Amino acid sequence: MRIIVQKFGGTSVATKEARTAVIGKIKNALDKGYSSIVVVSAMGRSGDTYATDTLINVAKAENPTIGKRELDAIMCCGEIISASVMSAAMQKEGLKAVLLTGGQAGIITDDNFSAARIIRVETRNLIKLLNEGYIPVVCGFQGVTADMLNITTIGRGGSDTTAAALGAALNAEVVEIYTDVDGIMTTDPRIVKEAKVLDCISYGEICQLAHQGAKVIHPRAVEIAMQKNIQLVVRSTFSDAPGTLITNNTRVETSDIILDDRVASGISFLKDIAQIRIDTNREDNTVSIRIFSELARNHINVDCLNVHPGEILFTVNSSDLDRSMSVLKEAGFDPSFRDNCAKISVVGGGMKDVPGVMATFVSAIANQGITILQTVDSTNTISAVVEQEYLHDTVKALHDAFNLAK
């Protein structure tokens, strides 16, 4: 059996016209001899009647401190509504669609409500339905605890993760992620109009782009697919564009691009971050341990970490700034901060050991008269922290400097 998993995002199932386009994609897969599993997100986006954020607001209007278990219950409703409507539309077109909740699809999670992790996928029910000619329409973003007593949600972007987990468990040939854009772009086209759709990209590169702010696909979904070497394709519900192939291969038959020879693949960014600086005693080798242990104990995530003799720099989300400052002061430190910052990252699997990459990066920003507040890098990522008012100018300058429009 040739299995394909097709995930459709909220805009892909929000209207009758969109659902008609979805059915066309499903029929195309069936015509190619695939057995299809469809995964759907909640219908629409924030503000729409059945969107997840709308449902959350309904519950929190009654009680802003609603328990996470109960909040998961209402959040699951968006995908159930979406799967029900999508199944109805498919049945009307003569397709043997059958709705499955996450639990009915065999997705077993831990009990960390609102951010559950998938423990395993029990595939027996799915395989039985596929053998009988059904098309399972699975509610994304949700699962059930091992004792089958509680429904859970697996965090934002969870429908991508659902699709990847099902694909990995069933050894699918491919997992298709359908959205309202033609594929993964070199950067946000709302900032750089010359941004291009990438033909292909490696698992590692797209994970980095996603972690650094790109929102086309969830990084956890990529990590799961990478473990089983299952190809992912990100493409549009509303066009016939081939989309972007995510793969381990450095050369793919559908593209002339060799991933290892491409210095940079894309630029992503994170907004609303704050930089914290702490001057330290050069002779105290334990100070960084005490700082980051205290922040971790208070569940504060840090990023852009630079530790030097006499100085420690790092960033936090702006929403965590006040709490971070209080925690550090209570621990006996004297931190200073700079708010309203942004982190811009250039990602590329081919930048390792390439001379001049950092020079290109720094020069592009400096030539715009923008001050770099901090840099961090890894084997395939270089990031800069700048004042947020210069975010767009920085992204444009780097996109041009690394020739990503060509």
Distance of alpha carbon 110 from alpha carbon 132, whole angstroms: 31
Range of the domain at 147: 3-180
Residues 144 and 284 in one domain: no
Percent of the chain at pLDDT exceeding 90: 82
Q: What is the pLDDT of residue 295?
A: 96
Residues 306 and 162 in one domain: no
pLDDT digits (tens, 9 = 90+) for 170-222: 999 999 999 988 999 999 999 999 999 999 999 989 988 988 888 888 888 99
Count of beta carbons in the 10 Å neighbourhood of residue 20: 11
User: Tokens representing 319?
Assistant: 């929403």
Looking at the predicted structure, is the pLDDT value of residue 386 above 50? Answer: yes
Torsion over CA: 181, 42, 99, 93 (sign): negative
Is residue 228 domain-resident?
no
Task: Show which of 164, 180, 196 is a domain's final residue.
Answer: 180
Is residue 406 domain-resident?
no
Residues 23 and 170 in one domain: yes
CATH number of residue 279's parent domain: 3.30.2130.10
Q: What is the pLDDT of residue 32?
A: 97
Contact 137, 99 (CB under 8 A): yes
Task: Show which of 180, 201, 216 is a domain's final residue.
Answer: 180
Looking at the predicted structure, is the pLDDT value of residue 258 above 60? Answer: no
Is residue 236 domain-resident?
no
Helix, strand or coil, per DSSP, at residue 354: coil
Q: What is the pLDDT of residue 254?
A: 43
The type of residue at 44 is G
Q: What is the pLDDT of residue 249?
A: 59
Residues 300 and 163 in one domain: no
Residues 163 and 297 in one domain: no
| Residue matched to tokens 């965090």 | 155
CATH number of residue 85's parent domain: 3.40.1160.10
Inter-CA distances, 260 with 194, 200, 201, 236, 364, Å: 23, 11, 10, 26, 23
Distance of alpha carbon 257 from alpha carbon 246, whole angstroms: 13
Average pLDDT over residues 67-89: 96
Looking at the predicted structure, is the pLDDT value of residue 257 above 70? Answer: no
Q: What is the pLDDT of residue 114?
A: 92
Is residue 91 domain-resident?
yes
101/380: higher pLDDT: 101
Alpha helices in 97-138 (DSSP H): 124-131
Q: Which residues of 46-62 are buried (b: 16+ CB within 10 A; e: fewer)?
A: eebebbbbbbbeebeee
Distance of alpha carbon 150 from alpha carbon 284, whole angstroms: 48
Task: Show which of 135, 156, 180 is a domain's final residue.
Answer: 180
Helix (H) or strand (E) holding 4: strand 3-8
Looking at the predicted structure, is the pLDDT value of residue 362 above 60? Answer: yes
pTM: 0.86
Helix, strand or coil, per DSSP, at residue 256: coil
Q: What is the pLDDT of residue 45?
A: 78
Q: What is the pLDDT of residue 261?
A: 58
Helix (H) or strand (E) holding 3: strand 3-8
Mean residue pLDDT across the chain:
92
Beta pairing, strands 244-247 & 231-236: antiparallel
DSSP one-letter string for 238-255: TS----EEEES-SS-TT-
Helix, strand or coil, per DSSP, at residue 202: strand
Q: What is the pLDDT of residue 247?
A: 87
Q: What is the pLDDT of residue 156?
A: 78
Which region among 46-55, 96-105, 358-367, 383-392 has the lowest average model confidence (pLDDT)?
46-55
Is residue 202 domain-resident?
no
* Band of residue 286 on the pLDDT scale cut at 50, 70, 90: confident
Q: What is the pLDDT of residue 251?
A: 46
Distance of alpha carbon 343 from alpha carbon 247, whole angstroms: 27
User: Tokens representing 226?
Assistant: 């990478």
Count of beta carbons in the 10 Å neighbourhood of residue 211: 16
Looking at the predicted structure, is the pLDDT value of residue 285 above 70? Answer: yes
Looking at the predicted structure, is the pLDDT value of residue 283 above 90? Answer: no
The type of residue at 13 is V
Is residue 111 domain-resident?
yes
Percent of the chain at pLDDT exceeding 70: 97
Looking at the predicted structure, is the pLDDT value of residue 259 above 70? Answer: no
Distance of alpha carbon 125 from alpha carbon 168, whole angstroms: 16
Rg (CA), the chain: 23
User: Tokens representing 3?
Assistant: 């299995």
Residues 273 and 155 in one domain: no
Contact 117, 130 (CB under 8 A): no
Domains identified in the chain, total number: 2
Residues 20 and 169 in one domain: yes
Residues 167 and 297 in one domain: no
Is residue 252 domain-resident?
no
Looking at the predicted structure, is the pLDDT value of residue 352 above 80? Answer: no
Is residue 300 domain-resident?
yes
The type of residue at 135 is I
Average pLDDT over residues 242-264: 66
Looking at the predicted structure, is the pLDDT value of residue 360 above 90? Answer: yes
